[in-house]
Structure 1
Amino acid sequence: MTRLVQARALTKRYGSTTALDAVDLDLDVGVTGLLGPNGAGKTTLIRMLTTAIPPTSGRITVLGRDATAGPVERAEVRRVLGYLPQELQFPRGMTCFAFVDYIAVLKEWTATAARHAEVRRVLDLVGLSDRTTRRIRTLSGGQRRRLALAQSLLGDPRLLVLDEPTTGLDPEQRASLRAVLSECGRTGAVVLATHQTEDVAALCDRVIVVAAGRIHFDGKVRDFVGTAAGRVWLAGAELPGAQASWRTADGKVRSIGGQPTEEAVAAEPSVEDAYLLMLGPTAQSRMEMAA
């Protein structure tokens, strides 16, 4: 069976630094979470998946098209993908409608009526149907993030790659986004690169953990969480040797790893617990930065 996306021996070097090291990856229908600390290679991987940068070596195919070939093949790949980068620069003098319409033109939507209908559809999906004539410079940070998401949804892409899509969104907006992305995952491959482990737990059926340019875990979210079973504890104080610990709202100290004492009670592990245990102090540092 042909995969929606296949990457083989994908490698990216910047001088003497190897950002991604011979990664193999297959993507099919569904939502995949991509976790990893800063400098792990996540952004390099998604930029190559979206044809933004070429690999040093290796090959990527999207729906059978070679994304690492010449400009004609890359253009064909770009027609079937949507991409939300972590940072997107807006022409701030434009309205919301004009901006998404401009992106649609770049994607070669030449029929005006159909293009405008699609622009209205994606703006409605992200809850901006009442902001179509608003100038981008007047939008809040969360609204600009939703506008950035809208352009990535044009044409129901078969490959949708999102880098930190929930940044700046409030809980209601985040829940709405999850509903949109879960629907996208019914017909295409959605890749969600994030530091928000709760988004992975709530939305993804698969998780990939990247560190030091290599994949450390690739599988079902429940199996990933299972790697932390019997290694998360609640007690009156931090356990000896705990990798991370904090006092919870009920006064108990939650310890990740460590040597359990007699009073320690095993706790239900989470995606965050499994992530901290797998990647150690590097992961803990990144969680504190994201908090």
Structure 2
Amino acid sequence: METNGQQTICLTAGVPRLPQVRLAEAATVTLGANEHIAIMGPNGAGKTLLADLLTGKYPLGEGTLVYDFRPSALASAYDNIRTIAFRDTYGSADANYYYQQRWNAHDQDDAPTVRQQLGPVKDEEHRRRLFDLFGLEPLMDKKIILLSSGELRKFQLAKALLTEPRVLVMDNPFIGLDADTRRLLNDLLERIARTGAVQLVLVLSMLDDVPPFITHVVSVAERRVGRKQTRDEYLAAFHQADA
């Protein structure tokens, strides 16, 4: 895909209109059309707030936020950006309900299946490619509450990608996963990144969580946004500071 310096997302000196969701200073971040970004920082640093600003969740009082989602035919952030926050393992469903259901087997009849939760699909060819990529077909009639952690991640990724977003933001994607499931998720994300159709933005706290397909890192500390660095630059600077 020829991008010619295209910026999918360009936030310049952004300050939210609402005081309660502001960072310590104005934020400037760009997402180039071929980049996959990790937003890095400790808990409470302001990483999720920055992701919310990039996705247009909070209207700006100062600065600008410009999108260019080509080759998508749709121009709005609503149509082109999907966000999954893994604090809530079950996505849009009520987490507490599902956690309770998981330990109450006699209530399983009330729980939806993967097929029901994914809903109707507009593009059958796109659906088939995704299901092949994730190996979802055997899970379609399984109750959501009976899915393993890895299967849940697959389900949520597929649900988001079925809408064909240009940008997929994942907040804490590796939280609560064992080593094998982390490797599985990393492999799935790498395959998605290789397609070139979707740009990935991962919100992470741990250096070990930064996958090889990430091209650039934006660090956030004490609610201040650092400059965007290449993955190699960021890792080298981190190890030098650590030493």
Quote the Cα distance in structure 2 between the aligned partners of 1:14 and 1:118.
39
Q: What does 1:65-144 align with in structure 2 at a 5 Å threshold?
A: 76-86=76-86, 87=88, 88-90=91-93, 93-101=111-119, 109=122, 114-115=123-124, 118-144=126-152
Structure 1 spans left out of the alignment, 5+ residues: 66-72, 232-255, 258-291
Question: One-letter code of the match for 2:93?
Answer: F
Higher helix proportion (structure 1 or 2): 2
User: Secondary structure, in 3 states, of the residue corresponding to 1:166?
Assistant: coil
- Can you list the C-alpha shifts for 1:251-285, whole angstroms capped at 9, x where unaligned? xxxxx45xxxxxxxxxxxxxxxxxxxxxxxxxxxx
User: Secondary structure, in 3 states, of the residue corresponding to 2:112?
Assistant: coil
Does residue 41 in structure 1 map to residue 59 in structure 2?
no
- CA deviation after TM superposition for structure 1 residue 13, in Å: 6.2
2:234 counterpart residue number:
224
Quote the Cα distance in structure 1 between the aligned partners of 2:85 and 2:230.
25
- CA deviation after TM superposition for structure 1 residue 20, in Å: 5.7
User: Secondary structure, in 3 states, of the residue corresponding to 1:209?
Assistant: strand
Counterpart of 2:15 (choices 1, 11, 14) is 11
Q: Which has the higher contact order (CA 8 A, sep 6+)?
A: 2
Quote the Cα distance in structure 1 between the aligned partners of 2:12 and 2:119.
35
Counterpart of 1:61 (choices 63, 66, 69) is 66
Quote the Cα distance in structure 2 between the aligned partners of 1:23 and 1:80.
22
- CA deviation after TM superposition for structure 1 residue 89, in Å: 3.4
Greater Rg over alpha carbons, structure: 1
- Can you list the C-alpha shifts for 1:63-112, whole angstroms capped at 9, x where unaligned? 269xxxxxxx98x322222321232232663211221226x6xxxx4xxx
**TM-score, normalization by structure 2:** 0.74
Counterpart of 1:198 (choices 202, 208, 211) is 208
- Can you list the C-alpha shifts for 1:159-185, whole angstroms capped at 9, x where unaligned? 111111122333333233223323433
- CA deviation after TM superposition for structure 1 residue 224, in Å: 1.6
CA contact (8 A) 1:2 1:64 kept: no
Quote the Cα distance in structure 1 between the aligned partners of 2:41 and 2:158.
25
Quote the Cα distance in structure 2 between the aligned partners of 1:137 and 1:16.
36
Does residue 22 in structure 1 map to residue 20 in structure 2?
no
CA contact (8 A) 1:126 1:177 kept: no
- CA deviation after TM superposition for structure 1 residue 210, in Å: 0.7
Structure 2 spans left out of the alignment, 5+ residues: 99-110
Q: Taking structure 1 as reference, are residues 230 and 60 closer, same or farther at Cα in structure 2, changes over 3 Å only? A: closer
Quote the Cα distance in structure 1 between the aligned partners of 2:153 and 2:188.
14
Percent same amino acid among aligned pairs?
A: 26
- Can you list the C-alpha shifts for 1:14-66, whole angstroms capped at 9, x where unaligned? 5467336311111121321111122222111212333333334332222269x
Q: Taking structure 1 as reference, are residues 230 and 215 closer, same or farther at Cα in structure 2, changes over 3 Å only? A: closer
- CA deviation after TM superposition for structure 1 residue 120, in Å: 5.0
Q: Taking structure 1 as reference, are residues 211 and 229 closer, same or farther at Cα in structure 2, changes over 3 Å only? A: closer
- CA deviation after TM superposition for structure 1 residue 6, in Å: 0.9
Q: Does 33-42 or 45-54 show the bigger shift?
A: 45-54
